[in-house]
Chains A and B, each alone.
Chain A
Amino acid sequence: MTTATTGRTEVKGAVGTAHTRVEGRDKVTGAARYAGEVPFADLAHGWLALSTVARGRVRSIDTDAVLGMPGVLAVLHHGNAPRVDTDYIGLLGIPPDPTAAVFQDDRVPHAGWPVALVVAETPEQAREAAEALVVTYDEEPHDTALTSDHPGAYPADGHMPAETEKGDLAAGLASSAFVVDEEYTTPEEHHSMMEPHAATALWDGGRLEVIDSNQGATWVQTELAKMFSLDESAVRVRSEHIGGGFGSKGLRAHQVSAVMAATVLHRPVRVVMTRRQMFSLAGYRSPTAQRVRLGADGDGRLRALEHRSLNQTSTVYEFVEPGAGVARVMYDADAHRTANHVVRLDVPSPTFMRAPGEAPGSFAIESALDELAERCGLDPIELRLRNEPEAGPVSGLPFSSRNLAACFREGARRFGWAERDPRPGMRRNGRWLLGTGTAAASFGAGAGPSTALLTAEADGTFTVRIAAADLGTGARTALTLVAADALEVTPERVRVRIGDSDFGPAMIAGGSMGTRSWAWAITEAARDLRERLALGTTVPPEGITVRSDTTAALGALAQKERHSFGAQFAEVAVDTATGEVRVRRMLGIFAAGRIVNPLTARNQLVGGMIWGISMALHEEAVRDRSTGGLYAPDLAGYHVATHADVGDIDADWVEDHDPDDPVGIKGVGEIGIVGAAAAVANAVWHATGVRHRSLPIRPDRVLSATAPTAGGGADA
């Protein structure tokens, strides 16, 4: 037995200093095991069979032929699978996407819908049997095309009100000196994290164990418990290392079908999605059709603003990609109207994908601002600075902190913005036309209720247990630093264990809220533990454990507009003879609260900006209208940026501090992508004089664009 000590004066603050990842060694040696890599004796392998039609009913499934194939153990489908409950509200306060509740009826709502799970002794056997399974359908006509004037469109709330309105828009526009009225579109985009969704399910002494790759162990645990009508304590979900999530890794067909198969077969069953299956089972960002109308007076001050955004959702689940939400935070005008609409199509359910709403919404409105700057003859940064709101444009609430202007000033200085000639199409380097562009960024800074367990061990170390998820964000390391500072010890004395639902409820890794939510819980636990230890308590062999719960503290938070902000800068080169666009340089300056670990935070911010490059230039999933399925749904058909697409990219930050957060954190997961695609598109305009309002800016679109005319722009 020893006496634990905290608060030694020689301990320096760990938060704010660069630390390599605590699990780094495991990741560079291959020792880190992801969900599909934990071995089990007697493991069986499930392979999903997906519908080949876009709409209709399953008429027949010829299971007999397949059950006779080597190694095949079972074929689960709507005729024999266990029934599940989908009539509940989950941890995030929303009902489940029925896409995850597989094999409940014969309806096929989209191409690539799971119609069966074939389970066999080996993956090769399961795959062949799933491919051999003959399924016939009663096919019905489908509609998979999102159009801006689709008659089925309707306003939908999602996680914010569908529509906001103040003032007289028509009058505001009519009285404006300068008006922009344009449509912008973004395509269907897929998360495409490197690790496919994988889950192993088994029953262990009456308890369901699921080894999974997800963004919240307690989230998936509670969803599975509700769906299978089990007590939450009878379900344990573990998710130690996650190969990327970006919004896609929640409850999905793989976990549910694995649990069904493990229940039926009484042995462990693993289900892993193939890359192609992910394109219909893992969610995606809906395409958007957006219209922005801006009216400004002679000195660029906005008098009227309208942002409307339309996205598609499936026939079984309503998901809103709230592109118009960003205007509710960024820009004010006397006449201000925003609206998010959806249309139900025979397509898979879209879902959260890195900066849902902000990513496509900022492309539209930040492009429109650039167009307005051009029309007003104002520098695009100056235009934005003139339109900095005092309070939330829609809510009227004060900002917790809004350091956007500081981001623009610092970014302009470091990027060399002052030397910029605003005229488009003026700079050439060999075959390349050069241009620069900028855009603003914002993303909500929130927190969700979390619990943490903190133990003072008898050997003088401390163990944190929290059902956090490290998707590659560096959360495990950041929480180690936060805990060390809260305990006033060095990080080497702190061990953080995450990704286990047995650690209690915690916020998911999502909405840029993970690290902030978990850090809050750890900070509260550390305060309690230090009080206990301050009494000179002797630590028994089993240690002293305290538990925190931030539900009450979060509930007491004052209502404010809480957001991160940022300024994006891009330099592009465009070869108008070939249509190639290259991003040579990008700089993002962010006001994103206190930065816990500069090493990993910079990496994550830069990663978000690279998503912006990828969104601007490469990503587009093309839906084949005749079959209703995707064309070439794989990583050769769906391009994400690779090494050669990424030039000199840097991110940095200005001093910013959330005054109401115990650590001062806001979150850095999503802000990096916001505005990045617009900055690139604005730079393409500056290089060529051609506006691209539809992403991605592919070579064919650059080549097909109208050539700029003297004294005026052109459109694409």
Chain B
Amino acid sequence: MREFGYQRAGDVSGAVALIAADPDARYLGGGTNLVDLMKAGVERPARLVDVRELPLDGIEPTPEGGLRIGATVTNSDLAAHPEVRRRYPALTQAVLAGASGQLRNMATVGGNLLQRTRCGYFTDLSKPCNKRAPGSGCPAVTGEHHNHAILGATDHCVAVHPSDMGVALAALDAAVTYETSDRQGKSPIADFYLPVGDTPHRETALPPGALITGVVLPPAPVAARSRYRKVRERASYAFAIASVAAALDVEDGVVRDARLAFGAVASRPWRARAAESVLIGAPADGTTFGTAADAELAAARPLPDNGYKVTLVRNLVVAVLTELAEEAAR
């Protein structure tokens, strides 16, 4: 870890100004990913601007009937918030499925969106990685990749996004708000993460120096019946090998509305719109759920050792939607 400067920002504009003045500076939130990457030598900022004490730690209702979640709200506070638990239970479940109690107390919503992949090539300076060192190659394609992407990847990078929270946010049509030195902006989460293409090191649509100020959840009555299921290689405290966030509104045995997103299958939380269009208007049964999953997974391009993820995601979709449908029928 190289030496660096440290400043605590008192307000948003001050934080943005400090970063704008120094291209080697980074915002420091909970530090759970950034400090780790600095120890690994993957991140080598010249200066940290600590934004944890900015007044962005509220969760408030929006006039439209949704929720605005401040960027420095911790994962723990987000998961425990009564309105989140009542209106978006899948979001609480997703956050609680991630990391550990200690890390959730530290990690912030803004930082969670920006966390980097846990691909073992990315985090190891002794190995090539296009995301960390553009042009050096992607050894995962022919090397260890049993937990790599099956959707949207390219030969340049097959890493997956590690966030659980992001998967629920993708299903819930959340939008990310940010601020730069000259404007405030808002990006739907569908546009927030960039396609991998041949530039895997460019991950988000955030303008340079922008500070994430929060996340806006639109009203989503469908989310009142929603779930997050995560599969990992131990029962807790591990990153996903696949996850599903789902919301389902069923009336008279027919799907009225549905939301579906997958985790740990792509470089970003994967909104399953093809599956949703199969679901909406169809009978709420196992056949529909399987067909919906297949529609989304038709685009899957598994590598030699991660083809199981296609089966796993399909099974998860059917299982979670079936549970939600049974709950609705009760």
- A: residues with CB less than 8 A from B are 52, 111, 124, 127-128, 131, 431, 577-580, 582, 617-618, 622, 624-627, 629, 631-633, 636-637, 639, 641-645, 698-700, 703-704
- Shortest 7 CB-CB contacts between residues of A and residues of B: A632-B120, A644-B236, A644-B235, A577-B315, A52-B126, A631-B144, A703-B308
Which stretch (B46-54, B166-174, B237-245) binds chain A? B237-245
Which of chain B's residues have a CB closer than 8 A to the CB of A700? 146, 241, 305-306, 308-309, 312
Which of chain A's residues have a CB closer than 8 A to the CB of B235? 580, 582, 642, 644-645
Cα distance A284–B62 in the bound complex, in angstroms: 55
Smallest Cβ distance from B155 to chain A, in angstroms?
Answer: 15
Cα distance A449–B234 in the bound complex, in angstroms: 42
Q: Can you list, as one digit per residue, whether each of B142-156 has a CB less than 8 Å from chain A (1) or not (0)?
A: 111010000000000
Cα distance A641–B232 in the bound complex, in angstroms: 12
Known A577-B319, A578-B316: A629·B127 in contact at CB below 8 Å? yes
Which of chain A's residues have a CB closer than 8 A to the CB of B2? 128
Which of chain A's residues have a CB closer than 8 A to the CB of B188? none
By beta carbon, the residue of chain A nearest B229 is: A578
Pairwise interchain contact B233-A627, C-beta atoms closer than 8 A:
no
Q: Which of B126, B311, B315 contacts A111 (CB 8 A)?
A: B126
Which of chain A's residues have a CB closer than 8 A to the CB of B316? 577-578
Which of B146, B235, B237, B238 has the most chain A CB atoms closer than 10 A to its own CB?
A: B235
Pairwise interchain contact A124-B1, C-beta atoms closer than 8 A:
yes
Which of chain A's residues have a CB closer than 8 A to the CB of B311? 703
Known A431-B319, A579-B231, A699-B231: A639·B142 in contact at CB below 8 Å? no
Cα distance A639–B144 in the bound complex, in angstroms: 16
Smallest Cβ distance from A202 to chain B, in angstroms?
Answer: 27
Smallest Cβ distance from A613 to chain B, in angstroms?
Answer: 10
Cα distance A622–B41 in the bound complex, in angstroms: 22
Pairwise interchain contact A699-B241, C-beta atoms closer than 8 A:
yes
Known A431-B319, A632-B123: A578·B308 in contact at CB below 8 Å? no
Cα distance A577–B241 in the bound complex, in angstroms: 14
By beta carbon, the residue of chain A nearest B122 is: A632
Q: Is the interface of B mostly helix, strand, loop or mixed?
A: loop
Q: Which of A128, A641, A703 contacts B3 (CB 8 A)?
A: A128
Cα distance A695–B163 in the bound complex, in angstroms: 28
Cα distance A124–B2 in the bound complex, in angstroms: 9
Pairwise interchain contact B127-A627, C-beta atoms closer than 8 A:
yes
Known A626-B142, A639-B238, A642-B235: A703·B312 in contact at CB below 8 Å? yes
Which of chain B's residues have a CB closer than 8 A to the CB of A626? 139, 142-143
Pairwise interchain contact B126-A128, C-beta atoms closer than 8 A:
no
Which of chain A's residues have a CB closer than 8 A to the CB of B241? 699-700
Q: Which of B118, B123, B139, B236 contacts A624 (CB 8 A)?
A: B139
B293-312 residues with Cβ-Cβ distance < 8 A to A are 305-309, 311-312
Which of chain B's residues have a CB closer than 8 A to the CB of A632? 118, 120, 123-124
Cα distance A639–B241 in the bound complex, in angstroms: 13
Which of chain A's residues have a CB closer than 8 A to the CB of B312? 578-579, 699-700, 703
Which of chain A's residues have a CB closer than 8 A to the CB of B231? 578-580, 699
Q: Which of A127, A577, A629, A636 contacts B118 (CB 8 A)?
A: A636
Subset of 5 A-B contacts with CB under 8 Å: A128-B3, A580-B231, A698-B233, A699-B312, A700-B306
Cα distance A629–B236 in the bound complex, in angstroms: 27
Pairwise interchain contact A644-B237, C-beta atoms closer than 8 A:
yes
Which of chain B's residues have a CB closer than 8 A to the CB of A631? 120-121, 124, 143-144
Q: Which of B124, B146, B319 contacts A629 (CB 8 A)?
A: B124
Pairwise interchain contact B234-A642, C-beta atoms closer than 8 A:
yes
Smallest Cβ distance from B230 to chain A, in angstroms?
Answer: 10
Tally chain B residues at the interface, Cβ within 8 Å.
Answer: 36
Cα distance A579–B235 in the bound complex, in angstroms: 12
Cα distance A624–B306 in the bound complex, in angstroms: 16
Known A642-B237, A644-B237: A637·B120 in contact at CB below 8 Å? yes
Pairwise interchain contact A618-B139, C-beta atoms closer than 8 A:
no
Number of A-B residue pairs at CB separation under 8 A? 94
Pairwise interchain contact B239-A644, C-beta atoms closer than 8 A:
no
Smallest Cβ distance from B286 to chain A, in angstroms?
Answer: 12
Cα distance A693–B118 in the bound complex, in angstroms: 29
Cα distance A642–B234 in the bound complex, in angstroms: 8
Smallest Cβ distance from B166 to chain A, in angstroms?
Answer: 18
By beta carbon, the residue of chain B nearest A702 is: B308
Which of chain B's residues have a CB closer than 8 A to the CB of A703? 308, 311-312
4 other contacts beyond A579-B308, A582-B235, with CB at 8 A cut-off?
Answer: A629-B126, A636-B118, A639-B233, A644-B235
Pairwise interchain contact B1-A127, C-beta atoms closer than 8 A:
yes
Smallest Cβ distance from A624 to chain B, in angstroms?
Answer: 5
Cα distance A268–B262 in the bound complex, in angstroms: 54
Pairwise interchain contact A625-B308, C-beta atoms closer than 8 A:
no
Q: Which of B118, B146, B234, B305 contacts A618 (CB 8 A)?
A: B234
Smallest Cβ distance from A562 to chain B, in angstroms?
Answer: 37
Cα distance A632–B121 in the bound complex, in angstroms: 7
Cα distance A621–B3 in the bound complex, in angstroms: 33
Cα distance A617–B234 in the bound complex, in angstroms: 8
Pairwise interchain contact B144-A699, C-beta atoms closer than 8 A:
no
Smallest Cβ distance from A566 to chain B, in angstroms?
Answer: 25
Cα distance A631–B143 in the bound complex, in angstroms: 9
Pairwise interchain contact A128-B1, C-beta atoms closer than 8 A:
yes
Which of A579, A622, A629, A631 has the most chain B CB atoms closer than 10 A to its own CB?
A: A631
Which of chain B's residues have a CB closer than 8 A to the CB of A578? 231, 312, 315-316, 319
Cα distance A124–B239 in the bound complex, in angstroms: 29
Which of chain B's residues have a CB closer than 8 A to the CB of A637? 118, 120
By beta carbon, the residue of chain B nearest A112 is: B126
Cα distance A643–B312 in the bound complex, in angstroms: 25
Which of A124, A617, A627 has the most chain B CB atoms closer than 10 A to its own CB?
A: A627
Which of chain B's residues have a CB closer than 8 A to the CB of A645? 234-236
Q: Can you list, as one digit per residue, whether each of B115-146 has a CB less than 8 Å from chain A (1) or not (0)?
A: 00010110110110000000000010011101
Which of chain B's residues have a CB closer than 8 A to the CB of A128? 1-3
Smallest Cβ distance from A278 to chain B, in angstroms?
Answer: 15
Cα distance A177–B231 in the bound complex, in angstroms: 43
By beta carbon, the residue of chain B nearest A620 is: B233
Smallest Cβ distance from A261 to chain B, in angstroms?
Answer: 21
Pairwise interchain contact A639-B146, C-beta atoms closer than 8 A:
no
Pairwise interchain contact B144-A622, C-beta atoms closer than 8 A:
yes
By beta carbon, the residue of chain A nearest B241 is: A699
By beta carbon, the residue of chain B nearest A632 is: B120
Pairwise interchain contact B234-A627, C-beta atoms closer than 8 A:
no
Cα distance A699–B41 in the bound complex, in angstroms: 32
Cα distance A579–B311 in the bound complex, in angstroms: 10
Known A645-B235, A700-B146: A627·B315 in contact at CB below 8 Å? no
Smallest Cβ distance from A301 to chain B, in angstroms?
Answer: 40
Which of chain A's residues have a CB closer than 8 A to the CB of B318? 577
Which of A577, A698, A700 has the most chain B CB atoms closer than 10 A to its own CB?
A: A700
Smallest Cβ distance from A56 to chain B, in angstroms?
Answer: 14
Cα distance A632–B316 in the bound complex, in angstroms: 27
Q: Which of A618, A624, A641 contacts B127 (CB 8 A)?
A: A624
By beta carbon, the residue of chain A nearest B120 is: A632
Smallest Cβ distance from A706 to chain B, in angstroms?
Answer: 13
Known A632-B123, A699-B312, A704-B308: A131·B146 in contact at CB below 8 Å? no
Which of chain B's residues have a CB closer than 8 A to the CB of A639? 233-234, 238
Which of chain B's residues have a CB closer than 8 A to the CB of A698? 233
Which of chain B's residues have a CB closer than 8 A to the CB of A431? 319
Which of chain A's residues have a CB closer than 8 A to the CB of B305? 700
Pairwise interchain contact A642-B236, C-beta atoms closer than 8 A:
yes
Cα distance A644–B236 in the bound complex, in angstroms: 6
Cα distance A643–B237 in the bound complex, in angstroms: 9
Which of A128, A617, A626 has the most chain B CB atoms closer than 10 A to its own CB?
A: A626
Cα distance A456–B132 in the bound complex, in angstroms: 65
Which of chain A's residues have a CB closer than 8 A to the CB of B121? 624, 631
Cα distance A672–B200 in the bound complex, in angstroms: 47
Cα distance A627–B142 in the bound complex, in angstroms: 12
Which of chain B's residues have a CB closer than 8 A to the CB of A580? 231, 235
Cα distance A636–B236 in the bound complex, in angstroms: 11
Cα distance A580–B312 in the bound complex, in angstroms: 10
